[in-house]
């Protein structure tokens, strides 16, 4: 059949965690009308045909076109300066010269994920926003510990993202301890972040969301997170050398609702440390070396709605344990060595809305068992079914 897919992939995970980029809830503007302002991230004034640009949008576009004519926006209302900055960021038009125009503008948000040219001089401009700055996202290999230390003037910072900041070490991370209102912190591809540097995070008691992605030196540092009991979302994705022992300190994070662990050395032992996280809604174990026996530790997690065991080398043996996870609404079994036999065990999962079986050895006969789920549910379930690369599937008429 080749592929059967839907635009709602990873629906539950995306509702609670933004996998790429910065979560919109951290961007706060001074005026309510800005929330409905719909101007486009383009270097020139190219609006959607269905949208008539407002006078403000037209003016912002014109200012951005002639950005080299302006030396400072500090005299403008903060809302206007924020709009100009956002438009330059979206159009990748920020430069060493125009960034200076935003010095002392009291901006709320300076999130420059796509701008790899950020350096310590840019950090000085960012720090000039002072206590007004609420969120910053830095993506650059040129920012050093000194550059990060400049942010100490931004005492009200609530969200901070560091991407590809290889020159930041334990010394720089110590400055994060001064951000007492920090609720979101993200490290991506930061080779200088180590287990030792994670000590500085132990006092960030207001942290709600914490991310580590492709940080190769964080093994052994999660013990410093034991006291972060307000943490609701934790991501440990593609970080080298993460083992079961790194998950043991997570057992006390009782308010965790989302846990993303995509690490190749996690086994059933590591999953056993999660059995008391009763508020867990989303669990991603993609790429781990777990077996179906790990499901025994998850049966008590009655709040669990989404489980991802993609690429975990699961077999049909033990798949009957999935039926005990009756509250699941989304299950990803893609790229495992399962067959039609496994689908027989899913009959009792009447709340299932999304099922991923990419590249599994599934046939028409196996999918017929899903019709049993439909008969016992109020909804035509699963409403989303992904069968990419399931070559033995030829039709789905019996699911209607």
Q: For the chain, what is the mean pLDDT?
A: 84
Percent of all residues in the chain with a pLDDT value above 90, rounded to a whole number: 70
pLDDT at 215 (0 to 100): 97
Asked which of 47-61, 106-120, 249-263, 330-344 is least confident by mean pLDDT, the reply is 47-61
CB 167 within 8 A of CB 141: yes
Closest alpha carbon to 159 in 134, 122, 124, 193: 134
List helix spans (H) across 273-399.
340-344, 364-367, 370-375
- 265 located within any domain: no
- Report CA torsion sign: 253, 263, 13, 92: positive
- 348 located within any domain: no
pLDDT at 113 (0 to 100): 84
CA distance 351 to 58: 48
Asked which of 98-107, 160-169, 384-393 is least confident by mean pLDDT, the reply is 384-393
Q: For residue range 203-231, what is the model confidence (pLDDT) as tens digits? A: 999 999 999 999 999 999 999 999 999 99
- 238 located within any domain: no
Number of separate domains in the chain: 1
> Is pLDDT of 248 > 80?
yes
> What is the average pLDDT across 131-154?
96
- 379 located within any domain: no
Query: Which domain covers residue 78, as residue numbers?
Result: 38-107
- 65 located within any domain: yes
CA-atom Rg of the chain in angstroms = 24
Burial of 70 (0-12, 13-18, 19+ CB in 10 A): middle
- 49 located within any domain: yes
pLDDT at 378 (0 to 100): 39
Better-predicted residue by pLDDT, 132 or 46: 132
- 14 located within any domain: no
pLDDT at 16 (0 to 100): 39
Q: For residue range 294-352, what is the model confidence (pLDDT) as tens digits? A: 999 999 999 999 999 999 999 999 999 998 998 999 999 999 999 989 888 887 788 88
- 63 located within any domain: yes
Q: For residue range 67-89, what is the model confidence (pLDDT) as tens digits? A: 999 999 999 999 999 999 999 99
Q: Using DSSP, state whether 24 is helix, strand or coil.
A: helix
pLDDT at 127 (0 to 100): 98
> Is pLDDT of 4 > 90?
no
CA distance 35 to 32: 6
Tokens of 160: 């901070």
CA distance 345 to 121: 59
């Amino acid at each position: 059949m080749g592929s059967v897919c839907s635009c709602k992939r990873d629906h539950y995970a995306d509702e609670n965690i933004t996998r790429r980029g910065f979560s919109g809830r951290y961007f706060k503007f001074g005026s309510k009308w800005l929330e409905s302002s719909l101007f486009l991230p383009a270097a020139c004034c190219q609006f959607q045909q269905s949208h008539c640009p407002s006078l403000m949008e037209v003016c912002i576009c014109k200012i951005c076109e002639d950005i080299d004519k302006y030396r400072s926006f500090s005299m403008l209302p903060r809302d206007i300066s924020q709009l100009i900055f956002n438009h330059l960021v979206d159009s990748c038009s920020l430069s060493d010269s125009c960034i200076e125009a935003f010095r002392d503008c009291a901006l709320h948000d300076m999130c420059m994920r796509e701008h790899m040219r950020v350096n310590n001089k840019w950090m000085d401009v960012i720090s000039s926003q002072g206590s007004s700055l609420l969120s910053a996202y830095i993506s650059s290999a040129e920012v050093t510990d000194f550059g990060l230390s400049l942010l100490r003037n931004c005492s009200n910072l609530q969200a901070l993202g560091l991407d590809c900041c290889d020159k930041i070490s334990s010394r720089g991370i110590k400055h994060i301890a001064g951000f007492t209102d920090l609720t979101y912190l993200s490290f991506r591809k930061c080779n200088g972040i180590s287990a030792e540097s994670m000590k500085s995070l132990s006092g960030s008691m207001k942290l709600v969301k914490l991310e580590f992605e492709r940080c190769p030196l964080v093994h052994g540092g999660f013990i410093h997170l034991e006291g972060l009991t307000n943490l609701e979302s934790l991501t440990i994705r593609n970080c080298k050398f993460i083992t079961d022992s790194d998950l043991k300190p997570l057992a006390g994070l009782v308010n965790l609702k989302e846990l993303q662990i995509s690490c190749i050395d996690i086994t059933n032992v590591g999953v056993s440390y999660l059995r008391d996280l009763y508020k867990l809604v989303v669990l991603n174990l993609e790429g781990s070396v777990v077996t179906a026996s790990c499901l025994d530790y998850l049966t008590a997690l009655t709040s669990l709605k989404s489980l991802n065991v993609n690429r975990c080398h699961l077999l049909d043996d033990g798949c009957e344990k999935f039926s005990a996870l009756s509250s699941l609404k989304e299950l990803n079994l893609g790229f495992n060595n399962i067959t039609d036999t496994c689908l027989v065990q899913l009959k009792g999962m009447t709340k299932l809305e999304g099922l991923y079986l990419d590249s599994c050895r599934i046939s028409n006969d196996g999918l017929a068992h899903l019709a049993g789920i439909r008969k016992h549910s109020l909804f035509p379930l699963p409403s989303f079914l992904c069968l990419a690369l399931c070559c033995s599937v030829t039709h789905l008429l019996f699911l209607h």
